[in-house]
Amino acid sequence: MLLVLNSWIGLLLGILSISASMGLKLKLVKIPPYKHRLESALLECHYELNGQRKGHSSLDGTNRRHHAYQSDYHSERFDEEEKLYSIKWYKDNEEFYRYVPSASQPIKSYKIEGIRVDPNHSDGTKVLLRGLTLKSSGVYRCEISAEAPSFDSVQGEGRMDVIYLPKDGPHISDSERKSYQNGETMELNCTSGRSYPASNLQWYLNDVLVTDPNNIIHYPSVQNQHGLITTFLGLSMVVNHRHYIDGTIRIKCVASLSPVIWRSGQESVVQWEQPTIDNRVAMLLANVWVNYRKSAGYEY
């Protein structure tokens, strides 16, 4: 009795082992993290079915493998083959592509804003998207399902952002001014070019990043046509002699996106020469010095 029980347990474990090793497995989901507007994007979903790797080629549903387990006590054959039912692609949880190998028309796509499928270059392992727009940004998910009796299902996802780099800018306002006197308040505004996502603006004084929040003025960004964004950043500071290096003050505004997207960034630079001391001030200083020397008993 114990021998029979152990044999049945061994049979059951053998079947489960075959199912686990030869079932449906997700191997790799490839989704580009960044793409430029109007480019194409290739989405790939690699999986393993019945021990065979599916990827870099279209599925035709005809390549099958059968796995049998022969029991010492039963002559019946256990067919552990799993058959592919469908592969579906979603953007932000909305289905836009379906591949069903058993259907008369295996490929079917659905209209979603920002999605244009190229059916001639899409199949059971990949989907090609053409003419990306800013609306194409989102989370993409691949879902693979097997037929009965297992109804196994595996899925994987990744995010893709479509970007638009600014064609110009940034620009600094009031850059026509020639100089600032000590004690004057310098007020400047920096405007980025239109981009997506929004550009990040930073001020530099003599190539040193300005971090004092009392000097930085934040303004709300503006969304333009087609979803492009313009950002603004103000600078306000009282000029003193310490700001001049070798007689020059240098102000720079740098616009950048994520370092992954746009490593170099763009910048706008203005600089002013240190103004000469006002003549009236110079005369006043001279008179004070003369009066001091006379009061001290110096002769001229």
pLDDT score of 48? 85
Alpha carbons 234 and 223: distance in angstroms, whole number = 18
Q: CA of 164: how far to CAs of 38, 133, 226, 264, in Å? A: 10, 9, 11, 15
Q: Which part of the chain is CATH 2.60.40.10? A: 25-49+82-163, 171-261+274-288
* Token pair recorded at residue 21: 């090793």
Alpha carbons 67 and 211: distance in angstroms, whole number = 67
Task: Answer yes or no: is pLDDT of 275 > 80.
Answer: no
Banded model confidence at residue 79, pLDDT cuts 50, 70, 90: very low
List the 153-163 sheet strands across, edge first: 34-36, 153-163, 138-146, 84-91, 94-99, 107-109
**pLDDT cut 90: percent of the chain above it:** 42
8 Å CB contact between 140 and 160:
yes
Q: What is the dihedral of CA 117, 122, 123, 124, to 10 degrees?
A: -70
Alpha carbons 124 and 101: distance in angstroms, whole number = 8
Q: What is the pLDDT of residues 15-26, one digit of tens each?
A: 333 344 457 888
Tell me the average pLDDT across 179-207. 89
Tell me whether the omega of the peptide bond preceding residue 170 falls within 30 degrees of 0, making it cis.
yes
Q: Mean of the per-residue pLDDT values for the chain?
A: 76
Task: Answer yes or no: is pLDDT of 100 > 80.
Answer: yes
Task: Answer yes or no: is pLDDT of 108 > 70.
Answer: yes
Of 2 and 110, the one with more pLDDT: 110
pTM for the structure as a whole: 0.65
Task: Answer yes or no: is pLDDT of 290 > 90.
Answer: no
Tell me the average pLDDT across 251-271. 69
Task: Answer yes or no: is pLDDT of 114 > 70.
Answer: yes
Of 278 and 181, the one with more pLDDT: 181
CATH number for the region 171-261+274-288 comes to: 2.60.40.10
pLDDT score of 266? 66
Alpha carbons 266 and 256: distance in angstroms, whole number = 7
Burial string for 285-296 (b: 16+ CB within 10 Å, else e) reads eeeeeeeeeeee
Task: Answer yes or no: is pLDDT of 135 > 80.
Answer: yes
Architecture of domain 25-49+82-163: Sandwich (2.60)
**pLDDT cut 70: percent of the chain above it:** 67
